[in-house]
Structure 1
Amino acid sequence: MAVLSLAGCASSVSVVETWEGNPAAASNAATLEAPGEIRVTRVNGRVMTNFLMDDLALDYALLPGENEVVFVYKTIWAKSTVVRNGESKVHVIESEPQVVRFEAEAGETYRFDFDQPESRQEAEQEMPEFSAAIVSSAGMTVASSTVWDGEEQMAASRTPIPASSSDGTPVSGDNALELLKAIWETASDEEKKAFLRWAFE
């Protein structure tokens, strides 16, 4: 599960770690800055925590190397008509889940870049074709998002866990448990069901 670190009060920078455990590469993590309009839902197959405030700007710490980020873009527009009791006072316009994959460099900072609609009508027109770019600190576009297929899974966990010791002997009981946890996180629903059937036969 993601770990949220808050420095000071609510207006200060918030950083979400996107891995489990204490991988060595975490000391040189890259940063992905997400504005309030972007809600990151998964990073490398791991579900990110839902926070109480949907429009909270967050920084996501990413391990160097290939990363897969799934997110939703959302805009909110005030209604100009009379609002009845119980009816929402705003129009919420949301994109389909998007996915972007890119190679994160150690210590680099990335941000989302996308067109900002000037009206609700414009937002509604743009949403079916919505795409966001990932831009480096130097202003270079490193990737662009596409609609996410919920069946897609990254082939391997981004948190490195050794399968054996340096001399080739099997992993210990504790390491084996960690390895099983990592594999479980990246398994599809069908794979999890098949494993449970096998385990309890």
Structure 2
Amino acid sequence: MRGCGRVRTVRGLWQWRHNPLRRVTDLAEACAALAAALLILCAAPAVGWLTGAVAHDALSDAVREQRARRHEVTATVVTVLAQPPVDPDPETSSARDAHRRVLARWTGPDGRTRTGTVHAPPTGAAPGDRIPLWTDGHGSPVGRPLDGATATTHAVLAGVGAAALTAGLVEGARRLVVRRLTHRRYARWDSAWERAGQDWGRAGAGS
């Protein structure tokens, strides 16, 4: 609704450009509103699309790189370790506090058998259970690689954010221009009233 109102305002001001009562500031305000509307309708989506495309390409490269360097193996739970106390402070506690740590054994991509402490699945684990585990080329545990759906979601969010930021900057610039024009208009009114006040009371001032 705000966009439609701005378009109607621009149309009205633009049609008024030949009115003998219009001021220079009125025409400047109409031009600023028209430029802002065009930039919001055209430039903001273009910036959003470009940002999303660049982010998607970068994230897609990251997905391919992580999938090439990270390997999913199956680890066997040896024993379930005692769960550390949960930190009551939400600002310092992490999501890992909710997962139990287990001692597990697995064979890495290099063929070597390794034993180490890893996080059990959220559903829990018991000795002898087999759990999925991501490792690097040397068999050391690493995080799960980024998937394509998550990369696409992040790229879309980046594009939407860039478009919204562009529109906000354009609207902010328009408001700044209108404010400066309004101040200039008030200054001219004050000057006109001051000149008119000097003629009040003089003979023939009203003629």
Tell me which protein shows more helix as a share of its residues.
2
Query: Which structure has the highest strand share of the two?
Result: 1
Answer whether TM exceeds 0.5 for this pair.
Answer: no
Which structure ranks higher in relative contact order (CA pairs < 8 Å, sequence separation ≥ 6)? 2
TM norm structure 1: 0.20
